Amino acid sequence: MTVLYALVGAAIVGCAIFMILSRNLVRMLLGLSLLATGANLLLFIAGRIRTDQAPIIKEGAKVLEDAADPVVQALILTAIVIGFALTIIMGVLVLRAWRTQATVDARKLESAEAMGAARARDGADE
């Protein structure tokens, strides 16, 4: 199972990267969401795929018996929520970009990088 999950996780990351390299901001956003999903799966493998027992101490017991790795799960749980917030913030930015620049093409979003002609900036020179 581990090899299969690793294959699927790596393939999801690959698909996500392909989408992120697109210049359509919405595709990039979906790619980012996909990237978080793939990364979480790969992270999950780090805790090893051994059992379907949840890391919950049974009633009456004092210590955890054989169960899945809880540390990795705690990590992934916050990663899911943070990845979600990241995706949504990116969505907010895409929406704002569409509202102000009327484009979702990364190539056309240049107002932050355009600095004007060199001459116009150096008005003081000569």
Partner 1 sequence: MFAILAASLAGACLMPLLARVIGRGAGLIIAMLPAGLLAAFVSMAPIVERGWVMGQGRAWAPALGLDFTLRLDGFSFLFCLLVTGIGALVIIYSDGYLTNKTRAERSRFYTLILFFLTAMLGCVLAENLLVMLMFWEATSVLSFLLVGFDSRSPRSRRAALMALQVTAFGGLMLLAAVLMIGATLGTYSMAQAVSQAPALAASPMGAPIVACLLIAAFTKSAQFPFHFWLPNAMQAPTPASAYLHSATMVKLGVYLLARFEPVFASVSWGRPVVIFVACLTMLVAALQALRAENFKSALAYSTIASLGILVLLVGLDGPAATVAMVGFLLAHALYKAALFFCAGSVLHATGHHNLRTLGGLARFLPLTAVACAGASLSMAGIPPFIGFISKEFLFEAQLQSSWELAPLAVAVLVNAAMVGVAGVITLRPFFLGKGKVTEVEHGETFWLVAPPLVLALAGLAISLEPDWITRVALRPAVAAVYGKAVEVDISVWHGVTPMLLLSGVVVTIGALIVRFWRQIHERLRAIERFDLYALERLWDHALQGLASGSRAATLWIQHGDLRRYLVMVLVAMAALIAWSTAAVGQKPQWPAIGELRAAPIICALVGLGGAVAATRAKSLVAALVATGLTGFALAITFMTNGAPDLALTQFTVETLIVVLLTAVLLAVPLANPVTRTRRMQITDAAIASSVALLLFIAVVDMAARPHDAAASAFFGEMSYVAAKGHNVVNVILVDFRAFDTLGETTVIAVAAILARSLLMRRGRTHDVVADLPVHFSLRAAGRTLAWLLLAASVVILWRGHDRPGGGFVGGLVAALSFALIALAYGVDRAERALRLQPLAVVGVGLLCVLLSGLAGLAVGEPYLTHLWWEPAGLPKLGTTLIFDVGVYLVVLGSVCAFLFGLQREASR
For the segment 45-64, give every residue that binds partner 1 (CB under 8 A).
45-49, 51-59, 61-64
Q: How far is the CB of 60 from partner 1 (least distance, A)?
A: 10
Q: Which is nearer to partner 1, 113 or 119 (CB)?
A: 113
Q: How far is the CB of 22 from partner 1 (least distance, A)?
A: 6
Residues 62-101 that bind partner 1 (CB under 8 A): 62-64, 67-74, 76-78, 80-89, 91-96, 98-99
- Contacts of the segment 42-49: beta carbons below 8 A, 24+ positions apart: 42/6, 42/9, 42/10, 42/13, 43/72, 43/75, 43/76, 43/79, 44/5, 44/72, 44/73, 44/76, 45/2, 45/5, 45/6, 45/9, 46/72, 47/71, 47/72, 47/73, 48/2, 49/1, 49/2, 49/5
Residues 2-31 that bind partner 1 (CB under 8 A): 2-24, 26-27, 29-31
Q: How far is the CB of 126 from partner 1 (least distance, A)?
A: 5
Of 91, 45, 89, nearest to 68 by C-alpha is 45
Q: How far is the CB of 44 from partner 1 (least distance, A)?
A: 7
Determine if 117 is a binding residue for partner 1 (CB under 8 A): no
